[in-house]
Structure 1
Amino acid sequence: MNAQLSGRRILLAALSTLAAAGIAGLGPARGQDKEAPKALGTIERLDPRFDELVAKDAVVERIGEGFEWSEGPVWDRRNNCLYFSDIPRNRVMKWQPGKGVSVFLEKSGYSGAIPRGGEPGSNGLLIDNEGRLLLCQHGDRRVVRLEPDGSFRALASNYINKPFNSPNDLVLKSNGDIYFTDPPYGLVQPAARELEFNGVFRISAADGSVAVLTKEMTFPNGLAFSPDEKTLYVANSDPKKAIWMKFPVKEDGTLGEGRLFADVTSSVASKKGLPDGMKVDEKGNLFATGPGGVLVFAPDGTHLGTFATGEATANCAFGEDGSTLFITADMYLGRVRLLTKGRVP
């Protein structure tokens, strides 16, 4: 091979790499198509109503990878970015359009100096009505708010003077009340916990008091409100009882008697994942992570379709203008465009 040909090939390869990466705003080289995004699994359509939510040519794009266990995504409208947790690494990560993934916050869930095993980092994340980041901290066993100076302000750290197990996920009611779940997944030794139950709790916006709302679920995990906030959905991450419950929300913010919404226990043995995080779109459809990926349910409980990621899928969140669903699936971060929209704080 002569030196001129070799140099030309090297130059073309470099230009191709720059174009694919979008470095310095360069587009694809002339005569070349933009590199197709890597897909994260497939999309399964089970009901015609699914086509009203997801275009037939939609693809779940893989936009980030290399995490130990990605969780808790939330879109920050003010800063045009997505935050999500990498729980084992005790970090909050940030994804920005055109910039990719970077570390946003170290020691996101465990502030101790002595290394500990298990799942020490933050899990569920939330943006409150004032644009501040709220975190469920596994290691420090509390719900906190990130302050402008980088410190954490504890919003809930105990119930009846007993530390929580490991706050897992949280959701904001329009009046400012915070609802969260408290399974034991973040404890190094779950048998040594102080609370004898795994509960769903509420932090009152009025006075900051913490109240338990239900103790009936074995492993409460993700939770989400219906658009009218009259129903609270709660996932149960129990392989022996892999279900979603729906609770009527009373005028005072407490919960009525729960009813079964969907049961996927029969799928646990053959598909990766358990009922975990979820979000509800403006039409009341539930986008719920569970065995197989992100399962989409109509308000009547019909399973419409699945974003089958091929990985144990932890959580999801609406972002950008509300028509993008971001998905955290084990070591990956994914994104899919929708025909529907969800609320973005």
Structure 2
Amino acid sequence: FSRRTFIAALVAAGPSAALARAVGSQTAPATPPPPQPITGPQVALPPTDLKAPYPEAGKVNRLDPRLDVLIDADAKVEKICDGFLHAEGPVWVGGNNGYLLVSDTQVNHIVKWSPTEGRSVWLEPSGYDVGGVAWNPAIREPGTNGLILGRGGIISAGSGARAILRIDLETKKKTVLVDRYMGKRLNTPNDCVLGPDGSIYFTDPPYGLVNRNAGPDRDLDYMGIFRLAPDNSLHLLDTMTTPNGIGVSPDGTRLYSSDATTGWVMWDLDKQGNASNRRQFVARNVVMGGDSLKIDSAGNMWAATREGVTVFTPGGERIGFISSDQGISNCEFGADGYLYIASSSRVLRVKAKAKKLLFKVT
């Protein structure tokens, strides 16, 4: 952001500086150039060729003995790959010998990593892609964000595409599942989760746009919590001030979301996927910085926060956290027994006893 702020400051200062020169010399100022975009095609950072044994890059912090059944306090937090501008949406594909896919929201590609093959670019462009052009000056994050398994492939919260996408694992073909509500473009879908009936719940803030809340690029004047039903009908469940992560309880009766201004909230879900009875799950003053989240098979929440990955019990009690020296945005349980963590420019992993929540959707 500092680079963008610097460029924006130069753009803003340009006309004032030109006017000052004109007043001093009493000469007519030249026509100022048009403002330059504060975004553009982004280039990935050079990745490090990391191999086992991987360097340590964090720590498990035990606040309550109940954490012990989920993760060991002395478990090693390892850096397994890097080279991201902003790592997000990790998803594990396959069984114990599977692989990890990770979004780089700003570079507009998805990275693949496996213990045997290491790091490679799996899909590029992953999000915004119009007429062979993979960036747009109005879009801050042209790539995908949240990634989950669903509908026989990958379901993506397509920030750059401003849509919910399905990506075929074999052909890598992208299909738009939905990009409008009531005829208006979605903002920039941020995170998504699969419900027990195959519904896709997602958050839709404007964080992927350069202008974010203010600007001509938004069609919707609110940030929604949506449900995309199996028949592809789209339902607005609620609106929030600053939504981000989203999750569903193991019994399918609760929906969760993070909100940077209030903390974490939850709703009751009925059998049709309708949400009601919105209430606080964890207040913002417990820990700040709610980003994406995962619900494990026992109903615990693993939430990206200011302190790292914070673990909350199903009752909302904070029992521990995984800290690191870079910001953390998301996490994923792999079938290989590791928790994978998206952490700014890199991806971390740590052995965990907690298991991924998977619904058997027919």
User: Is the shorter-chain TM-score for this pair beyond 0.5, marking a shared fold?
Assistant: yes
Residues 255-297 of structure 1: CA deviation (Å, up to 9, x unaligned): 01211111234754xxxxx211111122211111111110001
Report what 2:220 is aligned to: 195
**Residue 98, structure 1, aligned to residue 116, structure 2:** yes
Aligned partners of 2:110 and 2:126 also within 8 Å: yes
Query: Identity percentage over the alignment?
Result: 37
Could you say what secondary structure the match of 2:68 adopts? helix
**Residue 329, structure 1, aligned to residue 343, structure 2:** yes
Partners of 2:262 and 2:341 in 1: how far apart? 20
Partners of 1:306 and 1:134 in 2: how far apart? 28
User: C-alpha displacement at 1:186, in angstroms?
Assistant: 0.7
**Residue 66, structure 1, aligned to residue 72, structure 2:** no
User: C-alpha displacement at 1:127, in angstroms?
Assistant: 1.0
Aligned partners of 2:293 and 2:304 also within 8 Å: yes
Structure 2 unaligned regions, length at least 5: 1-48
Q: Return the match for 1:214 from 221, 227, 238.
A: 238
Report what 1:89 is aligned to: 107
Could you say what secondary structure the match of 1:256 adopts? strand
AA in 2 matched with 1:336: V
Evaluate the alpha carbon distance shift between residue 142 and residue 286 of structure 1 in structure 2; reply closer, same or farther with a 3 A threshold: same
User: C-alpha displacement at 1:218, in angstroms?
Assistant: 0.6
Partners of 1:114 and 1:124 in 2: how far apart? 19
Could you say what secondary structure the match of 2:276 adopts? coil
Structure 1 unaligned regions, length at least 5: 1-19, 23-34, 269-273
Partners of 2:358 and 2:76 in 1: how far apart? 22
User: C-alpha displacement at 1:122, in angstroms?
Assistant: 0.4
Aligned partners of 1:77 and 1:344 also within 8 Å: no
User: C-alpha displacement at 1:129, in angstroms?
Assistant: 4.8
How many residues were matched structurally? 302
User: C-alpha displacement at 1:136, in angstroms?
Assistant: 1.4
TM-score, normalised on structure 1?
Answer: 0.83
Residues 152-172 of structure 1: CA deviation (Å, up to 9, x unaligned): 211111000000000111111
Q: Return the match for 1:293 from 297, 300, 308.
A: 308
Q: Return the match for 1:155 from 177, 188, 194.
A: 177
AA in 1 matched with 2:163: R
User: C-alpha displacement at 1:340, in angstroms?
Assistant: 2.3
User: C-alpha displacement at 1:149, in angstroms?
Assistant: 3.7
Partners of 1:333 and 1:21 in 2: how far apart? 11
Partners of 2:274 and 2:228 in 1: how far apart? 11
Partners of 1:223 and 1:54 in 2: how far apart? 22
**Residue 256, structure 1, aligned to residue 271, structure 2:** no
Instruction: Detail structure 1 runs of 4+ shifted over 4 Å in the superposition.
Output: 265-268
Partners of 2:54 and 2:262 in 1: how far apart? 33
Aligned partners of 1:292 and 1:311 also within 8 Å: no
RMSD between aligned residues: 1.9
Partners of 1:56 and 1:143 in 2: how far apart? 37
Report what 1:17 is aligned to: none
AA in 1 matched with 2:258: A
Residues 62-116 of structure 1: CA deviation (Å, up to 9, x unaligned): 1011210000011111671111101110001111122211100001111032743
